[in-house]
A = this chain, B = another copy of it.
């Protein structure tokens, strides 16, 4: 699907790599795709996590928490710099829907990765599991209030 979106070629290449990594369950190439000041906007907390290291840690963790993960609709902005990827997943016995809203720079690097989740029960299940796995590391990485 991603190749038909009206994205800048560099952004389309990054998105294609992202899909290949998700399909393989292996995000080892993710650091190459992240801008050094990449920001992660969590579905749980308002304050963003501001560093490529934090984005990499969070995304590597969440892909291990989600079960039955599948992408569905893809949408792009007309300027070719932003995509929304709709997904469904399960955390324990909680079904959830979500979106990844991703911004790319001119070199195709990911500068902003925002996630939203519904419903409340799915968001709570995800938050509890992410907290168990990541709370100490994320507290140390947390950026300034935005």
Contacts of A78 in B (CB 8 A): 4-6, 74, 76
Q: Which of B76, B101, B117, B127 contacts A76 (CB 8 A)?
A: B76
Q: Give Cα distance in the complex from A98 to B95, angstroms.
A: 20
> Can you tell how many copies of this chain the complex includes?
2
Contacts of A120 in B (CB 8 A): 43-45, 123-124, 127
Main secondary structure of the interface of A (DSSP, over half): strand
Q: How many of chain A's residues have a CB under 8 angstroms from any CB in B?
A: 37
Q: Give Cα distance in the complex from A43 to B123, angstroms.
A: 10
Interface positions of A (Cβ within 8 A of B): 4-6, 41-46, 73-78, 82-84, 86, 95-99, 101, 114-124, 127
Q: Which 6 A-B pairs have the closest CB atoms?
A: A116-B116, A75-B75, A43-B118, A46-B119, A84-B84, A116-B118
